[in-house]
Amino acid sequence: MYEAYFTKRLLEALSLAERAEDAEERSIHLRTSRYYRELLEFPEKRRAFRYPARIGAMLYGLGVRPHRVAVTDLSSRGFRMRLGEQVKPGHLVTLEMDGLSPINAFTVWQEGDQVGCKFLSELHPALIEAALAVGSRN
């Protein structure tokens, strides 16, 4: 179902890696390409349950200042947020949901103001529950 989308994103990431101006940028794009390659080889990896959410958060790593964002869906493997600026796939970010410890992730896709990110390590179910509880108070 998502094969064409993942293939397109994989090719974009590889192309960006080839044109990267430095080793750090190349590394970011190669990590992104690995993510899409894994999704194409093992599609069941994308099947983490997604919880609709409305969680206020701060996003670090997109410049000098942090950005206030709204997490609109959350799973053990990643999240979707609303962000009012363009961001490249593979960009490393840190998400700090209100009242919880910072979590490292990287951007995977963007459509309009919606951005999808993958956590660097899978979240424990208790952390997801805590984040959803914090969000329900907003």
Q: Which two tokens stand for residue 131?
A: 């984040």
**101 & 39 share domain:** no
State the total domains in the chain: 2
**92 & 27 share domain:** no
Task: Give the range with max mean pLDDT: 5-9, 21-25, 113-117.
Answer: 113-117
Residue 1's pLDDT is 46
Q: Which of 14, 30, 46 is the last residue of a domain?
A: 46
pTM, entire model: 0.66
Q: At 89, is the secondary structure helix, strand, or coil?
A: coil
**CA torsion through residues 100, 102, 108, 114, sign:** positive
Residue 135's pLDDT is 67
**75 & 125 share domain:** yes
Average per-residue pLDDT for the chain: 84
Query: pLDDT class for 14, splitting at 50, 70, 90?
Result: confident
**123 & 62 share domain:** yes
**CA torsion through residues 78, 137, 113, 86, sign:** negative
Chain centroid to Cα 1, Å, comes to 20
**24 & 68 share domain:** no
Residue 61's pLDDT is 87
**70 & 30 share domain:** no
The answer to whether residue 123 scores a pLDDT higher than 60 is: yes
- Domain of 12? 3-46
What pLDDT, in 10s, does the model give residues 58-108?
Answer: 999 887 899 999 999 999 889 999 998 888 888 889 999 887 889 999 898
